[in-house]
């Protein structure tokens, strides 16, 4: 393991890896894993020879015994050339990073394989999370694989299809009523961690510095898929800011290690009904002054994070890359979901399709050039929210079993 230390992003206090911290012992702030990059010897050829997946990048993960990794075959997802959609949008080089192919259907599997492996090193028996759905589904699956007891706190209005996916893995699902301010699911997770000693593996990285290191592998795969070049733009559906933070760190590490020469411009895409990170970025609001979004409402349930717990590292990543942040309407998100399915054969949930809506918004603003290489992260599969898909798709018609009836239907 090449972890050198863990540093608090609030007060700068440095922690030893053997102390097993989740937050800063001095101020309770968010801590980040720091690696000894000078000691890491890794080449493009070495990586290309390894089996695909999250664990091929083991030198850049905070785990002592990768041979004991709790894995379901996550990562190694395809980078798809979206020729038809690109033509419609006026782009010559549009790619989709299809995270729907992960074991539980979302990018969260990258976090959980690392997070669950790490808590086993710590001797954990019980894990807990706060999630709108996908992180809880993923943690439930990996906890089941590892033989861990799992508790999940989910919003009261989480889709029933997602709750079923959590429960089927044996996790305890607790629906939490909404509050006017704050995020009650996170509040309960934190309290149970402190009261019962459960190990927190939430969607966000603010309460666990280890699991979100797994997100970096998505950035590594994008560049490896483009023959070790960075795209000009990467569009990231954004809730708490965890995915964007991890990707930004991954692109930065590749450049630092000499595997790539530059970084892409990273764009956060949020729903207009819950866009605290976009508001903070565009209004230049410091992290300490970001307010919880009141009464969040959007069809993109996976993007409902009333408070963006990782906005500090996400906004830093956007600014460092010269990127942007944009909020899109539910109508734009649902249109993007249909276009992904009908033009590229990729069935995404609304949250997973939001990146396409964000791309279209920046094209309309004249910020993305036709010759730019663009990657859109499609973060979760459409089976996560079947009800929405039914509402926006055409209902099938019933005919008698005859060629005459068929000819009438298709008007031949």
Domain ranges (residues) in the chain: 79-105+211-392
pLDDT score recorded for residue 412: 67
Task: Write the CA distances from 199 to 113, 115, 123, 207, integer angstroms.
Answer: 15, 10, 10, 10
Please give the structure tokens belonging to residue 399: 């005919």
* pTM for the predicted model, two decimal places: 0.95
Average pLDDT of the residues of the chain: 95
Task: Write the CA distances from 267 to 35, 183, 219, 231, integer angstroms.
Answer: 26, 25, 14, 12
| Least confident segment among 76-90, 122-136, 173-187, 203-217 | 173-187
Model confidence at 157: pLDDT above 90: no
User: Residue 394 burial by CB count (10 A; 0-12/13-18/19+): exposed, middle or buried?
Assistant: exposed
pLDDT score recorded for residue 160: 81
Q: Work out the pLDDT band at 359, boundaries 50, 70, 90.
A: very high
- Average pLDDT of the residues in 338-349: 97
In CATH, what number does 79-105+211-392 get? 3.40.50.1100
Task: Write the CA distances from 107 to 3, 104, 352, integer angstroms.
Answer: 24, 9, 10
pLDDT score recorded for residue 66: 92
- Average pLDDT of the residues in 233-248: 97
From 283, 209, 194, 190, select the one nearest 30 (Cα to Cα): 209
From 261, 264, 312, 265, select the one nearest 285 (Cα to Cα): 312
pLDDT score recorded for residue 158: 78
């Amino acid at each position: 393991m090449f972890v050198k230390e863990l540093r608090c992003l609030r007060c700068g206090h440095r922690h030893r890896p053997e102390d097993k911290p989740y937050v800063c012992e001095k101020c309770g702030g968010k801590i980040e894993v720091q690696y000894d990059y000078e000691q890491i010897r890794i080449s493009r050829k070495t990586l290309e020879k390894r089996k695909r997946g999250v664990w091929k990048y083991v030198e850049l993960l905070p785990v002592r015994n990768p041979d004991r990794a709790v894995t379901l075959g996550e990562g190694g997802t395809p980078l798809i050339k979206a020729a038809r959609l690109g033509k419609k949008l006026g782009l010559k080089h549009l790619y989709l990073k299809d995270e729907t192919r992960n074991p539980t259907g979302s990018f969260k599997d990258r976090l959980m394989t690392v997070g669950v492996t790490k808590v086993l090193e710590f001797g954990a028996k019980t894990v807990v999370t706060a999630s709108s759905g996908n992180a809880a589904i993923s943690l439930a699956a990996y906890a089941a694989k590892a033989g861990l007891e799992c508790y999940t706190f989910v919003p009261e209005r989480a889709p029933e299809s997602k709750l079923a996916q959590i429960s089927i893995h044996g996790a305890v699902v607790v629906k939490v009523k909404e509050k006017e301010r704050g995020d009650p699911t996170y509040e309960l997770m934190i309290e149970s961690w402190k009261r019962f000693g459960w190990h927190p593996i939430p969607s966000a990285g603010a309460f666990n510095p280890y699991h979100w290191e797994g997100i970096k592998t998505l950035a590594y795969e994008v560049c490896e898929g483009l023959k070790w070049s960075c795209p000009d733009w990467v569009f990231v559906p954004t809730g708490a800011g965890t995915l964007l933070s991890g990707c930004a760190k991954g692109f930065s590490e590749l450049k630092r290690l000499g595997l790539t020469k530059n970084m892409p411009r990273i764009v956060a895409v949020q729903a207009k009904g819950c866009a605290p990170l976009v508001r903070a970025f565009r209004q230049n609001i410091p992290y300490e002054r970001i307010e919880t979004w009141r009464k969040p409402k959007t069809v993109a349930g996976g993007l409902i994070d009333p408070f963006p717990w990782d906005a500090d590292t996400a906004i830093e990543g956007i600014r460092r890359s010269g990127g942007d942040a944009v909020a899109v309407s539910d109508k734009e998100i649902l249109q993007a979901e249909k276009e992904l399915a009908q033009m590229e054969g990729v069935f995404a949930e609304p949250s997973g399709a939001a990146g396409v809506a964000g791309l279209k918004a920046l094209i309309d603003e004249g910020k993305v050039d036709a010759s730019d290489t663009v990657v859109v992260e499609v973060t979760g599969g459409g089976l996560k929210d079947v009800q929405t898909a039914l509402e926006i798709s055409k209902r099938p018609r019933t005919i008698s079993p005859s060629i005459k009836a068929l000819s009438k239907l298709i008007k031949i």
